[in-house]
Chain A
Amino acid sequence: MTAVTANDVSLSWYEASARQRIDALVDAGSFCEFIGPELREISPHLSIFDLPAQFDDGIVIGRGRLDGASVLVAAQEGRFMGGAFGEVHGAKLTGLLRAARTLKQDVVILFDSGGVRLQEANAGELAIAEIMRAVIEARRARVNVVGLIGGRAGCYGGGSLIAGTCSRLIISEQGRLSVSGPEVIETNKGIEEFDSRDRALVWRTMGGKHRYLIGGADAFVEDEALAFRQAAIAALGAKRGCNAAALEAEQKRLERRLQRFGEVEDAIEIWQTLGIDDPTDVPALPTGAFLRAANDRENADDAR
């Protein structure tokens, strides 16, 4: 019989709060928060809707050390309004990315977001655009911006667009990355197109394993803070810069990918085409075996 003990040895990234994730990510005790909750920079919009605000507006930003190197860090709190982007939330991330460009310091973004906050949609949409620009400008200045995806809210909507501009993306099996969420697709296209309550379908369409296999993410890790930390350290060493040639190459790859898989009905067919022996087994594979099976996956190369 297997002895079952409390899961207190490792920290589940999926379960952890934004602050717990940061503490476990950076070198012990090295994190220093900017515009912390004590400054009470709350959303100016939520009170209009009689909704509770949070003193950090659902995002923690600051500086820490990662394997000794100084990095700027932003972590979204998925448990506050699904980690959604509002005016203050977005401005904190924009500011951090602009500072990164000026200071030439790498950035790690811990995504956990359903997208833009509907109650402050205009400000939120603007923030997404500003953040994407700030990411690209930072990357043009040879700053690496690494995204970590494995939170409860996933990385949807505007969050997924920002993720698309990052230098590298690290994802866990629990992580979900997609522009439209399951319920949105079902609402617009019907249950025949997408059954949002079929969670296995959701995960094999938007989940970490599938995103890694089709080049939507660059590293696949266990749902553990230490695994995210090690992968982040490795990703920060990635080739720097971002130019038109890399983007054009990625555009060509995406066109090829669309040709290759555009007609496919289910992710399992894609996995089969990618040469995975038992594609239906993919969801059940533990990390090591999955990474071996994923040898011939699609790869976004230097576009990210």
Chain B
Amino acid sequence: MSDWGMQKAALGERLTGGRQHATGKVVAIPNLLAFLKAVIRSGDRVCLEGDNQKQADILAVALANLDPRDVHDLHMVQSGVVLPAHLDIFEKGIARRLDFSYSGPQSARIARMLFGGKIELGAVHTYLELFARYFIDLTPNVALIAAVSADKDGNLYTGPNTEDTPTVVEATSYKNGFVVAQVTEIVDKVPRVDIPGDLVHFVVEANRPFYVEPLFTRDPAAITETQILTAMLAIKGIYAPYGVRRLNHGIGFNTAAIELLLPTYGEKLGLKGKVCTHFALNPHPTMIPAIEAGWVEQIHCFGSEVGMEDYVAARSDVFFTGPDGSLRSNRAFCQTAGLYACDMFIGSTLQIDLEGHSSTVMTSRIAGFGGAPNMGSDPRGRRHPSEPWLKAGAEADPDCNAALRRGRKLVVQIGETFGERNTPLFVERLDALDLAQELKLDLAPVMVYSDDVTHIVTEEGIANLLMCRSKDEREQAIRGVAGYTEIGRARDANLVEQLRQRGVIQRPEDLGIDPLDADRNLLAARSIKDLMLASGGLYRPPSRFRNW
């Protein structure tokens, strides 16, 4: 066969095209449009780097400014559809097909465009799932990525927000793909080499940092007493009895409350060193008091968090840092760690149905998944034992031969029975089903499937779904903690009481918790300023979070 080497030849053509608009490997901003036009071909599979945190924003805007007569029918394969430009690319007809993971702020527009036929949807993935497909059937032809600095050879320093970059570059560059990085500045020597220069074909000097969203900052001032109560229930009713040391926390005020209760309520329960010692977690500012109080041994991060850079660098005993001192994050590795090396995921959700399926889809929005379904799922490939995993497995199947019994990952959904604007957390039917119908999707966008969730925590108590033996019991266990929602009001009082006798449902009083003790005084920090002070001034919150 005489056609071997076609991919290398195609790459060669792109390189030749690109060099006409570059000096060495460096592309100046005024030449960026002509450069992209010269290196991107219609029909290319393009990975535009961006997730729920960092964004290759300059390259995104430039791509959206191409003329669809020159470049069209791109297939975008990217973690996040977050910036307006990401959808402008489709609006203008530059791209047609989309495979992605997370959309957050663009969730309503993406749904409208799917409905209007502007986007041909491949699938909505979890991060790890999309990364996996980069190496099998969604390998990019072109990757447009973001870094902090580069040298003239293209060696990249990604700083604390390394995130997806190594994965994207690995999949693209080693498969004859073409890699362009936007960097804040070109330097003589990068502080550390996060991406070797021979994998990077061109760099664009943007003269300003790539955009990063402070997605994981929760202001302790907004934590309610109900959220504190749910946090107390989770700590005393789940963390303590299972001895959960390795875990991941979702974003949300309930888990932020847990983080802020560790050094106070957790300390009082004598749990220091026994729970919450190892995390797969972004550097949440609300973790500062627990870290400072010596609770945490180690944290591996998906990404960084705006303002936490100096704090993380000063706490390299806890965080993974490079020789330059700053955080090294890596989304693919951290997602893998969260899947296989953590015994618990706990996070908030927006809707839970009677079987225990949960979803963050409400009305006509496709917010995507991000990492939560991966964190919040039981890994069937896990083989190493741990106390919480074995205990959960035994609860699920007490009669099985212990040596042949799988353990279970604890997957905990936590929330108030009525959420924002008094929306009930519990529903007969997930909005996700309507959305799937409307958009003719094969799968309803479910965040955590019912067979993965093990516990539901609300201010009414904890429902342990592992101990439910039938579909009916499961439904009553869920109704039993659904409070005054329609779902809760339709419970069978006798069955719920029986479940409570068996410990399937535990009320605050069953755990020795007085709801009146759920007071904001229990929080180790009650404001962003308290967090800054607890960090010894190392945490520098962004302006929009500072009330001083």
Known pairs A1-B292, A2-B292, A6-B524; A283 contacts B264 (CB<8 A) = no
Q: Which of A1, A198, A207 contacts B293 (CB 8 A)?
A: A1
Residues of A near B527 (CB, < 8 A) are: 14
B535 (CB) vs chain A CBs: closest residue? A2
Q: How far is the CA of A284 from the CA of B532 in the complex (A)?
A: 10
Residues of A near B523 (CB, < 8 A) are: 6-7
One digit per residue, 1 when the CB lies within 8 angstroms of any chain B CB and 0 when it does not, for chain A 276-298 equals 00000001100000000000000
Contact: B547 with A174, CB < 8 Å? yes
Contact: B547 with A199, CB < 8 Å? yes
Q: Which of A177-221 contact B (CB under 8 A)?
A: 197-203, 207, 209
Contact: B547 with A4, CB < 8 Å? no
Contact: A198 with B263, CB < 8 Å? no
Q: How far is the CA of A2 from the CA of B311 in the complex (A)?
A: 14
Residues of A near B292 (CB, < 8 A) are: 1-2, 4
Q: How far is the CA of A207 from the CA of B546 in the complex (A)?
A: 11
Known pairs A2-B534, A4-B263, A4-B524; A197 contacts B544 (CB<8 A) = yes
Residues of A near B520 (CB, < 8 A) are: 15
Contact: B526 with A7, CB < 8 Å? yes
One digit per residue, 1 when the CB lies within 8 angstroms of any chain A CB and 0 when it does not, for chain B 261-275 equals 001100000000000
Known pairs A15-B526, A199-B545; A6 contacts B293 (CB<8 A) = no
A8 within 8 A of B: yes
Residues of B near A202 (CB, < 8 A) are: 547
Residues of B near A174 (CB, < 8 A) are: 547-548
B522 within 8 A of A: yes
Q: Which of A1, A7, A12, A173 contacts B548 (CB 8 A)?
A: A173
One digit per residue, 1 when the CB lies within 8 angstroms of any chain B CB and 0 when it does not, for chain A 1-27 equals 111111110001011000000000000
Q: Which of B513-535 contact A (CB under 8 A)?
A: 520-527, 530, 534
Residues of B near A1 (CB, < 8 A) are: 292-294
Contact: B521 with A7, CB < 8 Å? yes
Chain A's nearest CB lies how many Å from the CB of B315?
10
Known pairs A5-B264, A15-B526; A199 contacts B543 (CB<8 A) = yes
B315 (CB) vs chain A CBs: closest residue? A1
Chain A's nearest CB lies how many Å from the CB of B514?
16
Q: Which of B281-332 contact A (CB under 8 A)?
A: 289-290, 292-294
Contact: B547 with A203, CB < 8 Å? yes
Chain B's nearest CB lies how many Å from the CB of A50?
14
Chain B's nearest CB lies how many Å from the CB of A84?
20
Q: Which of A77-97 contact B (CB under 8 A)?
A: none
Contact: B289 with A4, CB < 8 Å? yes
Chain A's nearest CB lies how many Å from the CB of B84?
17
Chain B's nearest CB lies how many Å from the CB of A128?
26
How many CB-defined contacts (below 8 Å) exist between A and B? Answer: 64
Residues of B near A201 (CB, < 8 A) are: 543
B536 within 8 A of A: yes
Interface residues on B, range: 20 to 34
Residues of A near B290 (CB, < 8 A) are: 4
Residues of B near A3 (CB, < 8 A) are: 263, 293
Q: How far is the CA of A200 from the CA of B524 in the complex (A)?
A: 23
Contact: B263 with A5, CB < 8 Å? yes
Q: How many residues of A contact B (CB 8 A)?
A: 24
Q: How far is the CA of A93 from the CA of B544 in the complex (A)?
A: 35
Residues of B near A2 (CB, < 8 A) are: 292-293, 534, 536
Chain B's nearest CB lies how many Å from the CB of A194?
13
Q: How far is the CA of A201 from the CA of B545 in the complex (A)?
A: 10
Contact: B526 with A12, CB < 8 Å? yes
Residues of B near A197 (CB, < 8 A) are: 544
B519 (CB) vs chain A CBs: closest residue? A8
Known pairs A201-B543, A207-B548; A4 contacts B293 (CB<8 A) = yes
Q: Which of B332-363 contact A (CB under 8 A)?
A: none
A208 (CB) vs chain B CBs: closest residue? B548
A176 (CB) vs chain B CBs: closest residue? B547
B537 within 8 A of A: yes
Residues of B near A209 (CB, < 8 A) are: 548
Residues of B near A4 (CB, < 8 A) are: 263-264, 289-290, 292-293, 524-525, 534
Q: How far is the CA of A279 from the CA of B292 in the complex (A)?
A: 30
Contact: B263 with A200, CB < 8 Å? no
Q: How far is the CA of A200 from the CA of B536 in the complex (A)?
A: 19
Chain B's nearest CB lies how many Å from the CB of A21?
15
Interface centre among A12, A199, A207 (most CB of B within 10 A): A199
Residues of A near B543 (CB, < 8 A) are: 198-201
B219 (CB) vs chain A CBs: closest residue? A199
Contact: B546 with A203, CB < 8 Å? yes
Q: How far is the CA of A173 from the CA of B532 in the complex (A)?
A: 15
B534 (CB) vs chain A CBs: closest residue? A4
Interface centre among A174, A200, A201, A202 (most CB of B within 10 A): A200
Chain B's nearest CB lies how many Å from the CB of A151?
13
Contact: B547 with A6, CB < 8 Å? no
Q: How far is the CA of A7 from the CA of B265 in the complex (A)?
A: 12
One digit per residue, 1 when the CB lies within 8 angstroms of any chain A CB and 0 when it does not, for chain B 123-164 equals 000000000000000000000000000000000000000000
Contact: B264 with A6, CB < 8 Å? yes
Contact: B522 with A199, CB < 8 Å? no
Interface centre among B525, B537, B544 (most CB of A within 10 A): B544
Chain B's nearest CB lies how many Å from the CB of A36?
22
Q: How far is the CA of A4 from the CA of B264 in the complex (A)?
A: 8
Q: Which of B264, B293, B526, B548 contacts A203 (CB 8 A)?
A: B548
Residues of B near A199 (CB, < 8 A) are: 543-547
One digit per residue, 1 when the CB lies within 8 angstroms of any chain B CB and 0 when it does not, for chain A 231-254 equals 000000000000000000000000
Residues of A near B530 (CB, < 8 A) are: 7
Residues of A near B521 (CB, < 8 A) are: 6-8, 15
Q: How far is the CA of A104 from the CA of B524 in the complex (A)?
A: 44
Q: Which of B481-527 contact A (CB under 8 A)?
A: 520-527
Chain A's nearest CB lies how many Å from the CB of B503?
29
Contact: B546 with A283, CB < 8 Å? yes
Q: How far is the CA of A4 from the CA of B530 in the complex (A)?
A: 11
A197 (CB) vs chain B CBs: closest residue? B544
Q: How far is the CA of A176 from the CA of B527 in the complex (A)?
A: 16
Q: How far is the CA of A94 from the CA of B527 in the complex (A)?
A: 35
Residues of B near A283 (CB, < 8 A) are: 546, 548
Q: How far is the CA of A15 from the CA of B526 in the complex (A)?
A: 9
B530 (CB) vs chain A CBs: closest residue? A7
| A1-B293, A4-B293 known, 16 other contacts, Cβ within 8 Å | A2-B293, A6-B523, A7-B524, A8-B521, A12-B526, A14-B527, A15-B520, A198-B544, A199-B547, A200-B543, A201-B543, A203-B546, A207-B547, A207-B548, A284-B537, A284-B548
- Interface of A toward B, CB cutoff 8 Å: 1-8, 12, 14-15, 173-174, 197-203, 207, 209, 283-284
6 shortest interchain CB distances as A-B pairs? A200-B543, A200-B546, A6-B264, A4-B289, A4-B263, A4-B524
Q: List 26 A-B contacts (CB under 8 A).
A: A1-B292, A1-B294, A4-B264, A4-B289, A4-B290, A4-B524, A5-B263, A5-B524, A6-B521, A6-B522, A12-B526, A14-B527, A15-B520, A173-B548, A174-B547, A174-B548, A197-B544, A199-B545, A200-B543, A200-B548, A203-B547, A203-B548, A207-B547, A207-B548, A209-B548, A283-B546
